Structure 1
Amino acid sequence: MRAVTVLLMSILLSACVGLPDKVSPVSNFELPRYLGTWYEVARLDHSFERGMNQVTANYSMRDDGGVKVLNRGFKTNEQQWQEAEGKAYFVEGTDSGYLKVSFFGPFYGSYVVFELDKQDYQYAFVAGPNHDYLWLLARTPQVSEQLKQRFLNEAKQRGFNTEEIIFVEHPQP
C-alpha cells in the first residue's frame, strides 16, 4: 500500500510540472538576462492573486544555483501590500525557459516561458502546468496595444480561455 501511495504522489507532483498542450518552452533562454523586475501586465485570475493590482515579480540568484522569486502585489480590498517568496529551478537544461517554482515547501508548479522578446528581454508570455495559469510579463508596467493583442492571439491559439484574461492595473507614470 505504501508503494502505491508513493507512486500516486510522484505522479501527482510530476503532473504539476508538466506542460500544457500546445505550449513549448523557448530555447536559447539566458537566465542572467531574465533576472530582475518584471511587471504583471495580464493574467488568468486565480485565488492567490485575486483582487491584486500593481503586481511585480523579482527574480534573483539563490546561493544553491536556483532562482529566488519575490512576488509582490497590492490587495485592493484590504488596501495593503502582500508578498510571497519562492524558489525556482530548471526542469530541463538551463537554456530552456522551463522551470519549476515553489512557494509551498516541496510542492512545485511549472513556469513555462513560451514566448520571449529575445532581443532585449522586454516581455515574456508565461504558462503554468495547465491552461488555467497564464501571464504576460513586461519590464515596464504598460505595453503597447499591439503586444497585448499578440498575447491574446498566441494564448487563444494555444487553448487558453482568453475571455477570462484580466489586465492588471498599475499607476500611470
Structure 2
Amino acid sequence: MQYDEGELDRRELLVSFIRDYGDDLKRIAYLYLNDLAESEDIVQEVLIKSYHQLDSFRHESSYKTWLIRMTINLCKDHKKRWSVRNIFYKQEAPEVRDHKLTETDYIQKESSNEIMQQLARLAPKHKEVLILYYYEELTMQEISDVLQINHNTVKSRLLRGKQALKEKLERREDHG
C-alpha cells in the first residue's frame, strides 16, 4: 500500500497526538464520565475525528487545546444521550487486593476515590474547569481557550466549583 506525502504527515501527526496527549485526553474523559470503557471510546473517537478534520484545523489554538475541546464536547454529547441519562447503574467499589498497602496508602486511595466520585457529581461547568485546572494543570488562560469562555468566567467557575466540591465532601463526611 502506498501513501502520498500528505497522508504520511497526517499519520505521523496522529501518532504524535496519541503519544503526547492520549493519556491526558483519557484522564479528562474518565474524570468527566467516571467510566473507563466509555472514556477510552471517547478518546478513540476524538483521535479519529481529529485525523479526518486535520485539513480544517485553523491553528488558532494548539493541537492540545483543540483535542481537549473535542474531548469535552464529546463527553458532553455522551452525557446527553438518552441511553446514558436514563440508565442508572452503580459501579461496585473495587476490592482491596493489594495486601501490601499500608493504612496511610489505603486512606489516601479512598480519599482520592471519594474526591473523584464527588467531582463526577458536580455541574458540568464546574467539573470541567476543576479537571482542567487540577488534573491537567492548565492555566486559567488555557482553560479559557479550551472552553472558549471569558477568563473571569473561568475564575468564577473555579471558585464556585471548589466550594461545591468542598460542600459535597463535608456533607459526605457528616453522613459517613
Q: Say which structure is richer in strand.
A: 1
Q: Rg bigger for which structure?
A: 2
After TM superposition, the score normalised by the length of structure 2 is 0.28
- By relative contact order (CA 8 Å, sep 6+), the higher-ranking structure is 1
Q: Say which structure is richer in helix.
A: 2
After TM superposition, the score normalised by the length of structure 1 is 0.28
